[in-house]
Structure 1
Amino acid sequence: MTNHQNSQCSDIRRTAIVGSGLAGLSAAILLKQQNHRVTVFEKSRGPGGRLATKRVAGGSADIGAQYFTIRNPAFRSFLEKNAGKNCFGPWQGRFGFQQPDGGWQAFPDEERYVGIPRMTAVSRALASNTDVRAEVRIDRMARNDRGWFLTDTSSRRYGPFDHVIVTAPPAQTRDLLANSGLMNLASILDGPVSAIHPCWAVAAHFESAPVAEFEGMRPHNAVLSWIANNSSKPGREDPGQWWVLHATSQWSAEHIETPADKVTDAMLEAFREVAGCAAMPDQTVAHRWLYARSDSDDRPGCLWFPAEGIGLAGDWLSGGRVEGAFDSASALVTTMTR
């Protein structure tokens, strides 16, 4: 009896995950199902990653990922089982993209999903049964004969762990690996780091609807890459309407150090031009994403270094979409547990 219990305990792997976006939470849940003891470390106050929401007067606005697709049946099954069917649903909006001549066409027909009542509902539901240590920024790692030990920016130490999974953006992942003396792994990320681009986001509230034709738009514009009526998403019961604007990667890079108020003014001016309206918002919130989108064609799905016991996962490794974060985590867990 005692020997059997000891054998079971020795089979339990201890895994640390850095980052509680969808990739980190998916990996944590999938590994728990494989009898791993998992601890997730998150530098912010709560989980989410790209599934980000800003609290605003009267409600919230999704300033990160605007929606997600479910092309992989395993992703739907995962969400329904681990987050619940009520925390996400289809966004029945009208979507259009603008051609160079100024004309508009409808998006290809595809179901698009959002968190309900906000995008963070998905990540918070997934995190509810996961050991997430919030407001812990892991700064470096070191391994001895007992395993990996992680140290945060306040010099607190965690461990030991058999494996470490990092799901942060490539620039932050490279810094962590370099700080840990893993230069051979850090150098692998030089290419992915250069392929990640920033994005300015602005949420603007209007007392009355400024645009009627579409709820989501991809304009042909030098400043804006995306415009959406956030209040049209299911579960949002905002007085008036909150609209979310995303700037193009090039414009964002050119204005990466521009003050937020000037960025907001320029993006609203572009919005009025695209929408053909003179409406002025009564509230605005700006957010700068330093690591928003990858344009790399190298999509290995995940990276696993068995000699070190270190894995990397994230949407940047699998096409850049929200669903890609799950695909990347799933691929990594499969590779680790073969």
Structure 2
Amino acid sequence: MFNETLRTTDVRRIAIVGSGIAGLTTAIKFKQQGHEVTVFEKSRGPGGRLAAKRVSNGSADIGAQYFTARNPDFLPFLSAFAGDSCFAPWRARLGFQSAEGQWQAFPNEHRYVGTPRMTAISRALSAHVKVVSGTRIERLVRAGENWLPFDDAGQPVGEFDQVIITAPPAQARELLARSNLPELAAQLNDAISRVLPCWAVAVHFDENPWPHHEGMRCTDPALYWVANNSSKPGRNSENKEGAGVWWVLHANAEWTERHIDTAPAKVAEELIAAFRALTGAKAAVTDTVTHRWLYARSEGGNNPGHLWFKGQGIGLAGDWLSGGRVEGAFDSASSLVSACAESATNQ
């Protein structure tokens, strides 16, 4: 399953833009095939939507809250390249609101989280490949049959046979447009319209404000999802008696769009008020951390799995191409690598 052999005698130099699950999966699978791979990440470290913020007594997951493993290859891949200690089942009581506002149980399904935080998975995966962090790829320039990626300082960062872009579709379109590839950029217009923003607020309460569920999908004018971060496995320092609990509140897309430029402190205030109205919580708030996701999750539309432009040597992968879930990033990367290998064999 993971010991794939190179299907062509050519060793390709491949640049990958973005170090979320899609980028790191692509990099590992290409490296297994014997190719030279470099991952470029604009932030200080890998992760993508597997994001966490440092808070008192530990960390809080502000991006993806959990992941499923419907693809039978996903968990074995994580075990092999991240290690079993980096993720664990989250045996949470999850609820959702009916149209009448009544709480109902989520369907039974195994759900997992990174331990001790979501970023543990991406950091472990990144150890298997070359990652150049703090480097934003601004444009691609043709050099014969190869590509020269340039950073935001105007400097080339290497020469590559192929470039794989795993950034959100809006950022991918901008990169392709700046690279004089308007036809490729235009193919992302629909996908961009389906990516939704989200304000996220991590809130520390002096005691658990809602003991009935650990996570809830809300039918609310402001809130989309709320979860007891301290209930997740590996958050031991946050579960000590008297330490209080951290909850994560995600605003829905409509509310976020209306408040896209609202000050973070005001966002926190309004989402906490919405949470109190939803649950009747009285516990005191002792700390907050706020983050704005401009590209949080993708909904609806066509899900081709990946995009591979063989003639240009450019591919795109990401959860937005395969259902929008964390697991979709792995599915997308896997299908792209297979398509690249097949096209190389057929040359």
TM-score (norm 1): 0.96
Query: In the alignment, is the contact (CA less than 8 A) between 2:206 and 2:284 conserved in 1?
Result: no
Query: Residue in 2 aligned with 1:116?
Result: 115
Which whole-Å deviations, capped at 9, do the CAs of 1:32-55 have from their partners, x for residues lacking one? 111111000000000000000001
Which whole-Å deviations, capped at 9, do the CAs of 1:178-207 have from their partners, x for residues lacking one? 000001101111111111110000000011
Q: CA deviation at 1:324?
A: 0.1
Query: Residue in 2 aligned with 1:322?
Result: 326
Query: In the alignment, is the contact (CA less than 8 A) between 1:89 and 1:116 conserved in 2?
Result: yes
Query: Residue in 2 aligned with 1:5?
Result: none
| Structure 2 counterparts to residues 184-263 of structure 1, below 5 A | 184-237=183-236, 238=238, 239-263=243-267
Provide the alpha-carbon RMSD of the alignment.
1.3
| Letter in structure 2 aligned against 1:41 | F
Query: Residue in 2 aligned with 1:76?
Result: 75
Q: CA deviation at 1:158?
A: 1.8
Q: CA deviation at 1:296?
A: 3.0
Query: Residue in 1 aligned with 2:164?
Result: 165
The residue matched to 1:101 in structure 2 has which SS? coil
What stretches of structure 2 of length at least 5 have no aligned partner?
1-7, 343-347
Q: CA deviation at 1:99?
A: 1.4
The residue matched to 1:301 in structure 2 has which SS? coil
The residue matched to 2:153 in structure 1 has which SS? coil
The residue matched to 2:290 in structure 1 has which SS? strand
Query: Residue in 2 aligned with 1:274?
Result: 278
The residue matched to 1:197 in structure 2 has which SS? strand
| Letter in structure 1 aligned against 2:314 | I
Q: CA deviation at 1:295?
A: 1.9
Question: Structure 1 residue 309 and structure 2 residue 308: aligned?
Answer: no
Q: CA deviation at 1:146?
A: 5.4
| Aligned with 1:332 (options 333, 336, 341) | 336
For the residues of structure 1 that align with 2:145 and 2:165, how far apart are their CA atoms?
20
Which whole-Å deviations, capped at 9, do the CAs of 1:122-152 have from their partners, x for residues lacking one? 0000001210000000000011225111000
| Letter in structure 2 aligned against 1:128 | A
For the residues of structure 2 that align with 1:85 and 1:278, how far apart are their CA atoms?
38
What stretches of structure 1 of length at least 5 have no aligned partner?
1-8
User: What is the number of residues matched between the two proteins?
Assistant: 331
Question: Structure 1 residue 39 and structure 2 residue 34: aligned?
Answer: no
Question: Structure 1 residue 53 and structure 2 residue 52: aligned?
Answer: yes
Q: CA deviation at 1:162?
A: 0.6
| Structure 2 counterparts to residues 119-138 of structure 1, below 5 A | 119-138=118-137
Query: In the alignment, is the contact (CA less than 8 A) between 1:147 and 1:159 conserved in 2?
Result: no
Which whole-Å deviations, capped at 9, do the CAs of 1:256-302 have from their partners, x for residues lacking one? 01111111111000100111112231000010000012123210000
Query: Residue in 1 aligned with 2:22?
Result: 23
Query: In the alignment, is the contact (CA less than 8 A) between 2:200 and 2:292 conserved in 1?
Result: yes
Q: CA deviation at 1:11?
A: 2.0
The residue matched to 1:221 in structure 2 has which SS? coil
| Letter in structure 2 aligned against 1:140 | R
For the residues of structure 1 that align with 2:340 and 2:230, how far apart are their CA atoms?
41
For the residues of structure 2 that align with 1:196 and 1:70, how far apart are their CA atoms?
22
Query: In the alignment, is the contact (CA less than 8 A) between 1:192 and 1:296 conserved in 2?
Result: no
The residue matched to 2:48 in structure 1 has which SS? coil
| Structure 2 counterparts to residues 139-158 of structure 1, below 5 A | 139-145=138-144, 147-158=146-157
Query: Residue in 1 aligned with 2:345?
Result: none
| Letter in structure 1 aligned against 2:277 | E
For the residues of structure 1 that align with 2:136 and 2:229, how far apart are their CA atoms?
31
| Letter in structure 2 aligned against 1:286 | T
Query: In the alignment, is the contact (CA less than 8 A) between 1:39 and 1:131 conserved in 2?
Result: yes
For the residues of structure 1 that align with 2:12 and 2:150, how far apart are their CA atoms?
20
Which whole-Å deviations, capped at 9, do the CAs of 1:315-337 have from their partners, x for residues lacking one? 00000000000000000000001
Query: In the alignment, is the contact (CA less than 8 A) between 2:15 and 2:39 conserved in 1?
Result: yes
The residue matched to 1:11 in structure 2 has which SS? coil
Q: CA deviation at 1:217?
A: 0.5
For the residues of structure 2 that align with 1:268 and 1:284, how far apart are their CA atoms?
10
Query: In the alignment, is the contact (CA less than 8 A) between 1:272 and 1:279 conserved in 2?
Result: no
TM-score (norm 2): 0.94
After superposing the two structures, state which structure 1 stretch, 317-326 or 154-163, moved more.
154-163
For the residues of structure 2 that align with 1:152 and 1:144, how far apart are their CA atoms?
16
